[in-house]
A = this chain, B = another copy of it.
């Protein structure tokens, strides 16, 4: 007897799921990618890396940290080519795709290309910038930079950094110094084994006076020999939760001298005589932060879509338990609870995807008109993006783990790719601002917006609903349409923002400082940010759908939007009941509707995730194979990754002595136990007390 497979096979089952979808998969895919060209480019990038040896993915789970580091560096060469030959837009799309395939590389490259270069762009004078460009900073030929901001004892509080840069008038140099262990530069990506230079953030001291944190380009290594320069101590900070392809390091400077001209002087200048000229206003770096957050929103959607493609395809082919007298076991995706586990997350990933597209557009427009914008508009967008970064990255991390759990035991295998995805993604909730702290920033801005609204100021679109005070007491028209859902979110968001603002004011009235009053209403600020952000995502999605012409694909997205909005209402139902937008009966109806929408989307689940357009190479998970051959692919990969050793590595040393040992101790336990009297007494008591229980079974067994 060979190994017959049950019928229909997993491959046949997945083909059946794709038969006659009620919409055109490619058309839907184009909508989700923003344009046909973006999709075509993505397919091109996917094809390129699938064939590039450095981008091999199937073996990454079994590579050591050192092997991952080296593999990651191999990708550099293939990318510097594109960075110097593609338009920024195309290259951005390329990196966006690479970011889903290999987050480690994305970061390692991004440190040199994005962060270091970004520091130069935002901080250098035109002459300084061209100096560094001449040195090769753009093509990474001559200079590979890293971004030395965070320290062992300071992360969020950049103004509190303790590395010093003391001006030496005699030599026209700055002396970069790490005064104590806590001031060691820490987490510096690229420092351990890639970078030749660093943008060092340090407290500038001129004539004994401290001027705050400025940036100093400091050479770390000789570019010919890669030897560390005198006074520079660098170490590897080693294993991380994920992204081990990045060589994060620590740097200690011991009186390292850099020319005065290596201080970036676009804003603050220091003259040959040590005269410090400071800008009239602290420069706003909203733009730079916005770019990072926008890309993290998009990445949250893409990473969630990757996990969901795997989980949905697996759920479609995995069969477990037969219902009634069926011969064939049921596809787990047919269980209502499994639909409940995955369909809302699919809707959320799509909603965040459309939010990412809108945000990218907004960011592009903003970059263009940065100088002419109303600063308060910019501030509002900045705050909204803080909340989006926080709640979108949380949503994605949660999605990855829920997808893992939905695949049962196989989700725990490294080869499912969920473990690596989770570990790699987890840092997104922490870097570029801890999510909780960012949420509070968003909440602070909402409290401010409420204050402005009650003073009659017309607010920008994201918070414009606060201008209409009647929204506070709105009620559902029971229709649960997209409009009804939007009003629901606006109503509830306005109420929780109002609550936070009123708490803040009451603390002020009680004599607290603004700072302390803000801290005291933290929880309410957090809630305000959470509710506003979900409402914002829903609104972005709804707007995107409203802008589309009617079509089968638009209809699908409308259903998905409805599921997202109603499911989130269910998740946060307390606020909707508390502020009276929905009655208890209507909330029951929301639950029933979510059940029904999950069942409705389940029918098209496989073509829907197909429209995410992620190749098998990117998914890198046999469980999510496009063709459905999950068990065969999984088995092959496990075999390939785990060849049988010629000899058992430790049988003779460890197992054989166990198997062959005589249990002499058993003959005279007293002699060998050596517990003190009290413990023996206790055990005797316990033995007595447990007569006739498990212990007895064991005694009798001898």
Q: Is the CB of B523 within 8 A of A337?
A: yes
Residues in B neighbouring A682, C-beta threshold 8 A: 37
From 332 to 385 in chain A, residues with beta carbon under 8 angstroms from any chain B beta carbon are 335-337, 340-341, 364, 367-368
| A331 on the B face (CB < 8 A) | no
Alpha-carbon separation in the docked complex, A524 to B337 (Å): 10
User: Which B residue sits closest to A579, measured CB to CB?
Assistant: B584
Residues in B neighbouring A250, C-beta threshold 8 A: 635, 638
Q: Is the CB of B196 within 8 A of A659?
A: yes
| A239 on the B face (CB < 8 A) | yes
Q: A404-434: contact bitstring with B at CB < 8 Å (1 yes, 0 no)?
A: 1100110111110011001100110111001
Q: Is the CB of B237 within 8 A of A88?
A: no
From 616 to 663 in chain A, residues with beta carbon under 8 angstroms from any chain B beta carbon are 631-632, 634-635, 638-639, 641-642, 644, 648-651, 654-663
Name the contact of A85 in the complex, choosing from B177, B238, B673 (C-beta under 8 A). B673
Residues in B neighbouring A595, C-beta threshold 8 A: 523
Alpha-carbon separation in the docked complex, A591 to B520 (Å): 12
Which stretch in A304-312, A467-475, A570-578 binds the other chain? A570-578
| A231 on the B face (CB < 8 A) | no
| A448 on the B face (CB < 8 A) | no
Q: A460-492: contact bitstring with B at CB < 8 Å (1 yes, 0 no)?
A: 000000000000000000000000000000000
Q: Is the CB of A635 within 8 A of B236?
A: no
Alpha-carbon separation in the docked complex, A413 to B248 (Å): 10
Residues in B neighbouring A520, C-beta threshold 8 A: 336
| A271 on the B face (CB < 8 A) | no
Alpha-carbon separation in the docked complex, A322 to B87 (Å): 44
Alpha-carbon separation in the docked complex, A74 to B177 (Å): 46
Min distance, Cβ A376 to any Cβ of chain B, angstroms: 23
In the complex, 17 of the A-B residue pairs with CB atoms within 8 angstroms, ordered by the A residue number, are A6-B180, A66-B649, A70-B654, A74-B654, A76-B654, A84-B663, A89-B683, A90-B679, A133-B701, A133-B702, A141-B659, A193-B648, A236-B638, A238-B641, A340-B522, A411-B430, A577-B577
Q: A73-90: contact bitstring with B at CB < 8 Å (1 yes, 0 no)?
A: 110110011001111111
| A282 on the B face (CB < 8 A) | no
Min distance, Cβ A88 to any Cβ of chain B, angstroms: 5
Residues in B neighbouring A89, C-beta threshold 8 A: 683, 686, 690, 695
Name the contact of A415 in the complex, choosing from B177, B238, B368, B409 (C-beta under 8 A). B238
Most buried by B among A193, A412, A436, A644: A412
Alpha-carbon separation in the docked complex, A5 to B178 (Å): 12
Name 9 extra pairs, CB < 8 A, besides A196-B659, A226-B648, A423-B423. A70-B650, A139-B666, A160-B322, A238-B641, A240-B412, A323-B516, A324-B513, A364-B690, A408-B430
Alpha-carbon separation in the docked complex, A587 to B4 (Å): 60
| A435 on the B face (CB < 8 A) | yes
From 442 to 467 in chain A, residues with beta carbon under 8 angstroms from any chain B beta carbon are none
A695-B87 contact given A130-B701, A239-B415, CB 8 Å threshold: yes
Which stretch in A151-159, A211-219, A534-542 binds the other chain? A151-159
Residues in B neighbouring A230, C-beta threshold 8 A: none
Residues in B neighbouring A25, C-beta threshold 8 A: none
- Does more than half of chain A's interface fall in helix, strand or loop, or is it mixed? helix
User: Which B residue sits closest to A578, measured CB to CB?
Assistant: B584
Alpha-carbon separation in the docked complex, A515 to B678 (Å): 55
Alpha-carbon separation in the docked complex, A70 to B341 (Å): 38
Q: Is the CB of A440 within 8 A of B4?
A: no
Alpha-carbon separation in the docked complex, A524 to B336 (Å): 11
Residues in B neighbouring A662, C-beta threshold 8 A: 141
Name the contact of A237 in the complex, choosing from B434, B594, B638 (C-beta under 8 A). B638
Which stretch in A15-23, A181-189, A543-551 binds the other chain? A181-189
Q: Is the CB of A4 within 8 A of B650?
A: no
Residues in B neighbouring A558, C-beta threshold 8 A: none
Q: Is the CB of A62 within 8 A of B238?
A: yes
Name the contact of A574 in the complex, choosing from B184, B242, B401, B587 (C-beta under 8 A). B587
Interface residue range, chain A: 35 or more
User: Which B residue sits closest to A287, measured CB to CB?
Assistant: B694
User: Which B residue sits closest to A234, measured CB to CB?
Assistant: B644
A683-B434 contact given A160-B321, A367-B693, A523-B336, CB 8 Å threshold: no
Min distance, Cβ A185 to any Cβ of chain B, angstroms: 12
Q: Is the CB of A665 within 8 A of B336?
A: no
| A163 on the B face (CB < 8 A) | no
Min distance, Cβ A177 to any Cβ of chain B, angstroms: 8
Residues in B neighbouring A152, C-beta threshold 8 A: 631, 634-635
A658-B690 contact given A129-B701, A184-B635, A666-B85, CB 8 Å threshold: no
Q: Is the CB of A180 within 8 A of B5?
A: yes
Q: Is the CB of B436 within 8 A of A405?
A: yes
Q: Is the CB of B522 within 8 A of A669?
A: no
A412-B440 contact given A226-B648, A574-B573, A658-B140, CB 8 Å threshold: no
A179-B4 contact given A430-B409, A651-B226, CB 8 Å threshold: yes
Residues in B neighbouring A414, C-beta threshold 8 A: 238-241
Alpha-carbon separation in the docked complex, A26 to B404 (Å): 40
Alpha-carbon separation in the docked complex, A634 to B565 (Å): 45
Alpha-carbon separation in the docked complex, A5 to B404 (Å): 44
User: Which B residue sits closest to A669, measured CB to CB?
Assistant: B85
> Which 9 residue pairs of A and B lie closest in terms of their CB atoms, listed nearest first?
A239-B414, A573-B574, A241-B419, A3-B180, A574-B574, A337-B522, A577-B577, A238-B642, A236-B642
Residues in B neighbouring A229, C-beta threshold 8 A: none
Q: Is the CB of B584 within 8 A of A156?
A: no
Alpha-carbon separation in the docked complex, A519 to B322 (Å): 13
Residues in B neighbouring A515, C-beta threshold 8 A: 323-324
From 678 to 698 in chain A, residues with beta carbon under 8 angstroms from any chain B beta carbon are 678-679, 682-683, 686-687, 690, 692-695, 697-698
Residues in B neighbouring A238, C-beta threshold 8 A: 61-62, 413-415, 638, 641-642
Residues in B neighbouring A526, C-beta threshold 8 A: 337, 340
Residues in B neighbouring A679, C-beta threshold 8 A: 37, 40-41, 44, 90
Residues in B neighbouring A69, C-beta threshold 8 A: 649
| A99 on the B face (CB < 8 A) | no
Alpha-carbon separation in the docked complex, A413 to B250 (Å): 13
Residues in B neighbouring A701, C-beta threshold 8 A: 121, 129-130, 133, 138
